[in-house]
Amino acid sequence: MTIDLDASDFALDEMPGDVLHDVLRAHREQGPVTPAKFMGLPAFAITRHAALLEAFRDNERFPPHRMYEASLEGAIGKSFISMADLDQHRIYRKLATPAFRSRAVASYEAESLEALAHEVADRFEGHDEVDLLAEFIASFPYLVITRLLGLPHDREEAFHRWALALLSMREDPAAAVKASEELTEFLAPVVEERRREPRNDVISELVQAEAEGRRLTNEEVFSHIRLLFPTGGETTHGSLGNLVSAVLTRPGMWQELRGNPSRVPDAVDEILRFETPIAVLPRMSAEYDVEFMGVDIPANTWVMFAIAGANRDPAVFADPDRFDLDRESKDLLTFGRGVKSCPGMHLARRNMTVGLTTLLERVANPELLDLEAAVPRRTVLRVPDALRIRRRTA
Ligand code: HEM
């Protein structure tokens, strides 16, 4: 198939299903760094595995904070993801991320992740037709965050609404600002309380954390909580959506995994390679002209870190367009590399494993009703629009 790369735009085109992968293959075959478009602007795409690995580690030519400064800081405030100074980034990352890996997560995981997933699934119990995306996948990761933070259960719906409003800063800035104020008003007394009387939750860990002589102020605690919405909520929503889509659209796979749930982690690993939610990660190049792999990149140019392209590079993955549960995927670039490599990857994998296992248990024999809506689409956050199913009785 011939693809007109000049006509495709990584922000404006939805690139559903194979379309994205055809576009990325065409780029990859042309070279490691190729001209592209993003939001109508001239850009470049890095689609080969080796080139992207190098680019992820190159903080000079591709400063990792710039995109976040432009896109996120307005909504969530100052957090380590958008810090330009790498020493400062390192210190704040040390302060804010152990909370997502350590005691609180471990104890919560051991006790309640499964219970929470079943609680969410209870909401559609008895319904013959369900949109698994809207009714389970869209809320489960946010509920995990609220439980980890140790917030009161009766405010979970409000918390999810605030998170979504904050993330729509670009489309509706007034609603985002209002949500931010309401959220801060809600969090302030909780943070004060945890300072006085720490519990076994993430907010308590954030207020007690100390690194290189520094601690987080209340405002910094708020912004690092807000940081979890796009990074922990949206990504897991996408990755679980893509996973359930892959299983539902492959004949027999639902039943195969239902009969053998110990294979769910293999499905999780393979979907993270095959159809990752951050399929394309936009980076802004340095404030001066640079050269990368023989290609001149003008100052302040969008460069697409095409993770989905690297994850299907035939130089690294045999038969890359096949979704293969037996694959041993070791070199995924799904969680980035270098200074910004994802601190939430463990939690993401756990959420996905528990989420799919629960759905397999609760839905015996699903029939997918709308194949088109179930196809993953868009690039920066790739997810299906809906996963509507009917429960078959036989
Ligand atoms: C499948 C789900 C996930 C995917 C695909 C994913 C992917 C990524 C990628 C590619 C990066 C690097 C970004 C860059 O280089 O600019 C990243 C960073 C990050 N991720 Fe994840 N992530 C996922 C889940 C999570 C979760 C659950 C959390 C939180 C608990 C999280 C928190 C973060 C944070 C805070 C950063 C920024 C790190 C830094 O600035 O040093 N992610 N993630």
pLDDT recorded at residue 394:
57
Name the residue of 147, 205, 225, 335 whose CB sits within 8 Å of the most ligand 1 atoms, as the mutation to test its pocket: 335
Q: Looking at the predicted structure, is the pLDDT value of residue 330 above 90?
A: no
List, for residues 134-178, the tens digit of each pLDDT value. Answer: 999 999 999 999 888 888 888 888 888 898 888 887 788 888 888
Average pLDDT over residues 219-242: 92
Q: How far is the CA of 255 from the centre of ligand 1 (A)?
A: 31
pLDDT mean across residues, the chain: 93
pLDDT digits (tens, 9 = 90+) for 72-127: 888 888 999 999 999 999 999 999 987 777 666 777 776 689 999 999 999 999 99
pLDDT on residue 153: 86
Domain ranges of the chain: 5-391
Q: Are 237 and 229 in contact (CB under 8 A)?
A: no
pLDDT category at 71 given cuts 50, 70, 90 is confident
CATH 3.40.50.150 fits domain 5-391: no
Q: Pick the residue whose CA is nearest to atom 38 on ligand 1.
A: 340
The structure tokens listed for 350 are 């756990």
CA of 129 to the centre of ligand 1 (A): 33
Residue 64 Cα to ligand 1 middle (Å): 13
Confidence of residue 20 (pLDDT cuts 50, 70, 90): very high
Q: Using one digit for the tens of pLDDT, what is the confidence trace for 41-60?
A: 999 999 999 999 999 999 99
Which pTM was predicted? 0.95
Amino acid at 350: R
What per-residue confidence (pLDDT) applies to 70? 84
Q: What confidence score (pLDDT) does residue 3 get?
A: 82
Calculate how far, in angstroms, residue 97's C-alpha sits from the geometric centre of ligand 1. 11
Percent of the chain at pLDDT > 70 equals 98
Instruction: Kindly report, residue by residue over 175-211, the tens digit of the pLDDT.
Output: 888 888 899 999 999 999 999 999 988 899 999 999 9
Q: Give the residue, out of 94, 146, 235, 351, with the most ligand 1 atoms within 8 A of its beta carbon, to mutate for a pocket test.
A: 235
